[in-house]
Structure 1
């Protein structure tokens, strides 16, 4: 199947081709037609499976550019994700003559208010900044046609349930609602079913596909030796583009300082860093000016960066699902990827959970616990 089979406009197909996208992913195949038909959707699909385009393409095609009110709203938990979706949307919206507003904290609200005086078709927002606009009456959602909630599980995890409720009270009851989530527990389902009408439920089993091209390994180490173990691995791999995951902001700060003192080309990203600086850091990483991006889970959630060759779990993740989310940021679009996790005694139980989920033992690269 290709995009023509999904009746996508030629202008959009041409833009996708320029980005090297010629065939729809499973989530795009499943969702695009249903969304174009106007049906509500609840979709479970892992990060990195192409879900952003699964809702962007049909949404942009459905917007009437002559309509004066905001037609579509995409609500997302983090500024990074809002920025990433906006970048994708702007590429596709240009030939359709549609105007987009990104509304998230850290960006000058006055410039957003001025832009809203024009004709905005699609708003991509984080909950706090959108509520700010609704309070100021600078955005009206009364005639909204399509509402999209992206990363619904993260929204609930980050405590945005009340904000979602408040925003949806401001929308048109006849709207089309689309809920996308990497995981689908009872809380996510409850929220999604509450705000959808006879939805199509789409579940994409993607983990096997995502992981089959990823070469996984672990290093056994101790807290005291972990940094030296990491340096040993980095010097051996000399990766093209790598993300190194830390458990907390403080750990990311310390690792950036220690790696910088040893001459590694690295930058950190976490929620305490200003928005302008985060955008600059991400731009440097995407443009391969920075070799190592040190990240926390929250800051990196939803980041879709092409070309990441290696993922390092400096701090072992807290759940098997988190492990799979993290390593799924490499080995994309048919490319191979490499991952290495640093395991101390206290990580033994969660390592067993990960291996049970994967269905195999992860190979030990070396053991740094031995004298």
Structure 2
């Protein structure tokens, strides 16, 4: 257990919550135009995280929330933030940071959809888009700004984004945002805000020790919400492994046997939509090319693609035009694909990145649906998988033909 300066009794467990849980949108006394937008998107009642996370933000409290992917974290902070916006003040009041362009775009769309009837201006700032267009968009002083750290920091330093009017600062995927790759930019953005009055909300599916320590320095008397996400994620997903033996010729980078195993599975069984995760961009490209050569239609999404190319691939996958997607990691966080049924993991994250495993397999167990995760691994890689099983107190079973046929029948029924 990570030692924390924040009092343990403030930790909120959903099963024994000391926070009031709001069961209906009407219970929050929300702006009626906001409620109208929520209902128009088909959200009839709050999800578990929304039941406890919205009100503290509306009440002006700092918050650190942890909940499983796909449980409605984005909706929670979007609804709360929109309720906090003063529509009569033509200035930027809410700033939301996300770690990838895809997640930032998705978050911005949620804000736009919920605020459809509110007359609130939402602006998206992310790398890969036109800087000049961003400058034009900022000139109207949008109420809500959603963006990636690099572009937001650039707009602040160049004077086009006025940080002094921001009253609510939201950090999505906070564990990733507070790690070395983004930490300096996020810190620079935070220091540019009015630290005496700005309210901070952090949301993530996982937190490591380093991020917890940083959050203690940033948050003021926060409400802590922990929905025990690991157990919720793992409980909703059937986890399996296939041991494909030792490294071919002792070469740990040789993926040939994993590729043949994957091809065999994808050709023999209909998995619906599936995502194949592997850490390296180079290895992802190899798997993608190998599947294509063996007659398995698929698409590739990685950081090497231009933003518009990634957007096209992701949109096609969401629409069901593509059934199999190979990812070097971009899709393991935040991006919603509602019909995804199976996740293939072709490697195991190192011990200091074990939460990546949760993010990966969580793609298949979203929105209350049951999912399947299949790990295809060489024998020496099982040491890390065993550590993950021990850390999360979970079981990962050998994949048998019987399991595959059982899953096949369920998939056909759906």
| TM > 0.5 fold call | yes
TM-score normalised over the length of structure 1: 0.93
Greater Cα shift, 273-282 or 131-140: 131-140
In the aligned structure 2, how far is the partner of 1:78 from the partner of 1:330?
20
Separation in structure 2 between the aligned mates of residue 279 and residue 104 of structure 1, nearest angstrom: 13
Match among 82, 86, 91 for residue 60 of structure 1: 82
The one-character-per-residue Cα deviations of 1:244-275 (angstroms, maximum 9, x if unpaired) are 10120001111111111222221111111111
Q: Which residue of 2 aligns with 1:120?
A: 142
Deviates more, 1:210-219 or 1:137-146: 210-219
Q: Confirm whether residue 345 of structure 1 aligns to residue 379 of structure 2.
A: yes
Task: Indicate which of 144, 148, 165 corresponds to 2:170.
Answer: 148
Structure 2 partner of 1:6: 28
1:58-207 equivalence runs, <5 A: 58-173=80-195, 174-207=197-230
Once residues 180 and 101 of structure 2 are traced to their aligned partners in structure 1, the CA distance between those partners, rounded to angstroms, is 13
In structure 2, how many angstroms separate the alpha carbons of the residues matched to 1:42 and 1:360?
25
Change (3 A) 1:360 1:162: closer
d(CA) in 1 for partners of 2:81, 2:205: 20
For the residue of structure 2 that corresponds to 1:160, the secondary structure is helix
For the aligned residue pairs, the C-alpha RMSD in angstroms reads 2.0
> Which residue of structure 2 lines up, in the alignment, with residue 262 of structure 1?
294
What displacement does 1:348 show?
A: 1.4
Alpha-carbon distance in 2 for matches of 1:61, 1:138? 25
Q: Could you report, residue by residue, the CA deviation over 1:17-71 in whole angstroms, capped at 9, with x for unpaired residues?
A: 4444323222211111111111111222232222111111010111012212211
Out of 296, 313, 319, the position equivalent to 2:328 is 296
Give the alignment's TM-score, normalised by structure 2.
Answer: 0.83
1:232 partner SS: helix
Q: In structure 2, do the counterparts of structure 1 residues 263 and 13 end up closer, same or farther at CA, with 3 Å as the change threshold?
A: farther
Residue equivalent to 2:406: none
SS at match of 1:48: coil
8 Å contact kept, 2:233–2:358: no
| Alignment counterpart, residue 321 of structure 1, candidates 349, 355, 376 | 355
User: Could you tell me how far 1:106 is from its partner in structure 2?
Assistant: 0.3
Number of matched pairs:
367
d(CA) in 1 for partners of 2:209 and 2:291?
41
Q: What is the distance in 2 between the residues matched to 1:290 and 1:256?
A: 13
Report the CA distance between 1:233 and its aligned residue.
Answer: 1.6
Unaligned 5+ segments in structure 1 are none
Quick check: 1:49–1:206 contact (8 Å CA) kept in 2? Answer: no
- Seen in structure 2, the aligned counterparts of structure 1 residues 236 and 8 have a Cα distance that, compared at 3 Å, is farther
Residues 184, 225 of structure 1: CA spacing in aligned structure 2 closer, same or farther, 3 A cutoff?
closer
Per-residue CA deviation, residues 73-118 of structure 1 (Å, 9 max, x unaligned), is: 0011111111111111110122111111110100111111111122
| Contact kept in structure 2, 1:98 and 1:121, CA below 8 Å | yes
Q: 1:214 to 1:17 in 2, by over 3 A?
A: farther
Cα 1:18/1:158, change in 2 over 3 Å:
farther
Shift in alpha-carbon separation, 1:15–1:307, aligned structure 2, 3 A: farther
Note the C-alpha offset of 1:290: 0.9
Tell me by how many angstroms 1:14 deviates. 4.2
Residue equivalent to 1:251 = 283
Counterpart residue number, 1:212: 235
Secondary structure of 2:241's aligned partner:
strand
Cα distance, 1:22–1:237 mapped onto 2, change above 3 Å: farther
Deviates more, 1:254-263 or 1:120-129: 254-263
Q: What does 1:30-69 correspond to in 2, within 5 Å? A: 30-69=52-91
Could you say what secondary structure the match of 1:302 adopts? coil
How far apart in 2 are the matches of 1:184 and 1:80?
21
In terms of mean alpha carbon deviation, does 280-289 or 113-122 score higher?
Answer: 113-122
- Structure 2: how far apart are the matches of 1:125 and 1:360? 36
Where in structure 2 are there 5+ consecutive unaligned residues? 1-22, 246-254, 402-414
